[in-house]
Structure 1
Amino acid sequence: MTWADAVPVALGIGGRVFSGPVVLVGAVLALGLAFFAGYRLGRRAGFVGDDAGALDRRLAEIGRAQSETAGRLATMAEIFGSRQADLARALTERLDGLGHRIGQSMTESTRATHENLRRLAERLAVIDRADRTIGELTGHVVALERIFSDKQARGAFGQGRMEAIVRDALPEGAYAFQATLSNGTRPDCVIRLPNGQPALAIDAKFPLEAWNRVRAAETAEAVKLAEAQFRRDVGKHVDDIRARYLLPGETQDTALMFVPSEALFADLHERFGDVVDRALSGRVVVVSPSLLMLSIQVVQSLLRDERMREQAHIVQAEVRRLIEDVGRLADRTAALERHFAQAVQDVDQIAISADKIARRGARIESLELGTAAPGVGEEPAPRRGARG
């Protein structure tokens, strides 16, 4: 590295930037001014006596040094100019390459951003649909919660499900809703059994208040108290069903207590088996929608059997008529068979007559006439009554 490479390319003074050649020229001028000022001060101080000649020679040397320095500064300025142009060209090329890379990066980033925004829009659309669905489900859940919280509405809900199951399985006249019994009570449904048997009573007002308290309880003590209250409520409801709907000679000695939820029915048997046992001991059977449907299908089979027994005499009469028709068919088949046999015999006689005619025709064709006595070569005459 030369001494010119060690010179700073630029210098900043007071917020302004100066290039290297300008800095060097300024330094040389400042050095010359310093020597001139020293010379003036020496003369004023009286140091120009005998050493005046030496001082002149020194100043001449300084002038030559300044000339050499000026030449060198010009060379350095030219070198710095070329290097500054190379630096500017390199900076321009690098800036162009950097701009191209930045443009490509921005293009790719824009494309990726658009793709991400499109996917985000699709996901937001899916989320929006899911949010609307959740809103609708929330409304349904709130309505269902309102139904279960209201005793009258809860009874209507259970009554509606029970009525739908009964209507779908039984014919008209085999059931009655809110029918009045002899003691003035009105069960939710009465199913009329065949053969004059007592009716089957169904109750659809299952107590859910204590059950909701059991589900809402958070502490062990609260759960224990809620379960005890639930057992008391269900026990009282079972006693009411037994006292109101089990009437000897009018209703069956067993009544059905309808639970409108399969999950509640399963949880009831799992956690409150003693409640179910108490209901069974009181001849009150707890049924879910599926069990009620199965019970209705059993009743439907009984009704079908009863209708078949009621129509048995009609079936027997029809069977007798069918047997008579079969006998007549057999007689007519035998007569037809005789007709076919006679027809076959007639066909055979016709075949014999045709054969005779054919032989006689053959003899006529061969001129075998007049030589034979009458009756010779002829078939005997058929018997009286025979065909031929």
Structure 2
Amino acid sequence: MNTITLLILGLFILTNGAVIFLLFKRQTGNKQVDGQNMQMLNQNIQGMQERLDKVSQGLNDRLDSAARVIGAVNKELGSLQEIGRNMQGLQEFLKSPKLRGNVGEQVLKQMLGQFFPTAFYSLQYKFRAGQIVDAVLKTEDGLIPIDSKFPMENYQKMIRAEIETERVKFLHEFLKDVKKHVNDIAKKYILPAEGTINFAVMYIPSESVYYEIIRDDLDLNRYSMEKKVLFVSPNSFFYFLRVIMMGMQGKKMAEATREIIDTVRGLQKDTHKFADSLNVLNTHITHTKSAFDRVATDYASITGKIERLDRVDEDNLLE
């Protein structure tokens, strides 16, 4: 039952009470009301009072509930205002290119640390000419330069623009920013003479900025491929690192397999050598046995001759 219904019910009860009161007053002008009618009137008035009390209690309960709801809404509005202030603070924080760069470098550091031991990558790697890249991955094929770029200023102006001409203007400025980053990375960090492989990675810490860059109609992917620079976002960088890690593990398995094969081949050679030595030893043993048999035969023959000689001497002596 809503508030309007309760109000209508209250008015209805009051109207009925007024009608009864007027009838009663009209009757009393002519004659005295007997005790039974008075009792009925009192009962009706008491019933109306109880209904009015219930209506009043219902209204009070609804007002209390509405007050609680309004309080909760005010609290939520306060929380939203605090979030708004925090978001505004974050936006002010990200207006500084240096601070944006620091955020990107920290995220880059954490992701590299999740996949590789520190021996497989270096942070703030310095080349001989003095230029410093945010990170390099160390692979058997060479160093993979990784640099974090956060082209936010003209991107934010573009998405906030309400007029199409302004949006197009800031889009062109945004494209110029991205191409400048690509050119800088290609020129400064792709240095095969210093051990890098023939491409570099441009890490973009924002998914929304990344998807704007790789739109087909902007043709930035073709431009970056010509410069041998690969765009990655936090999500795609995760898969890039996983592929590199699996490649390293595959090479380790291949090296371990080669070591096992080389060891087995060495064992085979050693087995052949041992078999040859065993055959030689067996031949020597056979020859030794034959010589021993001959010596034993000769010894038996000499012993027999000595025994016969002893018997001849004894017979001659007896005669």
Which TM bucket (shorter chain)? 0.5 to 0.7
SS state of the match for residue 86, structure 1? coil
Residues in 2 aligned to 1:84 and 1:212: alpha-carbon distance in whole angstroms:
90
The residue that corresponds to 1:246 in the other structure is 190
Provide, for residues 218-240 of structure 1, a one-character-per-residue CA deviation record: whole Å limited to 9, x for no partner: 11111121111111111111111
Task: Give yes or no for the alignment of 1:212 onto 2:159.
Answer: no
Please show how residues 36-185 of structure 1 align to structure 2 within 5 Å: 83-86=30-33, 94=41, 97-111=44-58, 113-114=60-61, 117-118=64-65, 121=68, 123-124=69-70, 126-127=72-73, 130-131=76-77, 133-185=79-131
Q: Deviations over 1:27-74 (max 9, x none)?
A: xxxxxxxxxxxxxxxxxxxxxxxxxxxxxxxxxxxxxxxxxxxxxxxx
Residue pair 2:207, 2:234 contacting (<8 A) in 1 also: yes
Would the aligned equivalents of 1:200 and 1:252 in 2 still touch at CA under 8 Å? yes
Q: Which moved more, 1:107-116 or 1:229-238?
A: 107-116
Residue 277 of structure 1 is matched in structure 2 by 222
Q: Within 5 A, what are the aligned runs for 1:16-55?
A: none
Runs of 5+ unmatched residues, structure 2: 1-26, 269-319
For 2:218 and 2:225, locate their aligned partners in 1 and report how far apart those are by CA, in whole Å. 11
Return the alpha-carbon distance in structure 2 between the equivalents of residues 140 and 322 of structure 1.
69
Deviates more, 1:254-263 or 1:237-246: 254-263
Q: 1:272 to 1:109 in 2, by over 3 A?
A: farther
- CA gap of 1:102–1:309, structure 2 versus 1, over 3 A, is same
Conserved? CA contact 2:152–2:209, under 8 Å: no
Contact 2:190 2:196 in 1 (8 A): yes
Write the distance in 1 (CA, Å) between the matches of 2:107 and 2:245: 18
1:65 aligns to what? none
1:248 is aligned with what amino acid? P
Higher relative contact order (CA 8 A, sep 6+): 2
Over 3 Å counting, the alpha-carbon distance change for 1:170 and 1:129 in structure 2 is farther
Write the letter of the residue equivalent to 1:85: Q
How much has 1:313 moved relative to structure 2? 6.1
Residue number in structure 1 paired with 2:174: 230
2:133 is aligned to 187
Distance 1:96 1:316, change over 3 A: same
After superposition, the C-alpha distances for 1:256-315 in whole angstroms (9 at most, x for unaligned) are 111112222223333763223222221111111111111111111122133334444664
Alignment-mate amino acid for residue 262 of structure 1: E
Q: Distance in 1 between matches of 2:84 and 2:253?
A: 51
Larger Rg: 1
Letter in 2 for 1:172: T
- The question of whether the paired residues in 2 share the 8 Å contact of 1:159 and 1:205 is answered with no
- TM-score, length-scaled by structure 2: 0.65
| Deviation (angstroms), 1:118 | 3.8
Percent same amino acid at aligned positions?
Answer: 20
One-letter amino acid of the counterpart of residue 202, structure 2: M
Paired residue type of 1:137: I
Q: For residues 119 and 180 of structure 1, what CA distance do their matches in structure 2 show?
A: 65
TM superposition shift of 1:114? 1.7
Decide whether the 8 Å contact of 2:149 with 2:205 is kept in 1. no
The residue aligned with 1:361 is none
Distance 1:86 1:146, change over 3 A: same
Unaligned runs of 5+ in 1: 1-79, 324-388
- Could you tell me which residue of structure 1 aligns to residue 232 of structure 2? 287
Distance 1:203 1:115, change over 3 A: same
For the structure 1 residues 149 and 112, does the alpha-carbon distance in structure 2 shift closer, same or farther, using more than 3 Å as the test? same
Give the whole-Å Cα distance in 2 for the aligned partners of 1:81 and 1:266.
Answer: 90
Runs of 4+ in 1 over 6 A off after TM superposition: 87-92, 317-323
Q: Which has the higher helix share?
A: 2
Distance 1:107 1:320, change over 3 A: farther
Distance 2:115 2:108 in 1: 11
Q: Which residue of 2 aligns with 1:303?
A: 248
Alignment: residue pair count: 241
Residues 257, 285 of structure 1: 8 Å contact kept: yes
SS at match of 1:85: coil
Does the aligned pair in 2 maintain the 1:206–1:257 contact within 8 Å?
no
Contact 1:201–1:251 under 8 Å retained in 2: yes
Q: Given the superposition, is the C-alpha separation of residues 83 and 107 from structure 1 closer, same or farther in structure 2, using an over 3 Å criterion?
A: same
Q: Distance in 2 between matches of 1:150 and 1:285?
A: 25
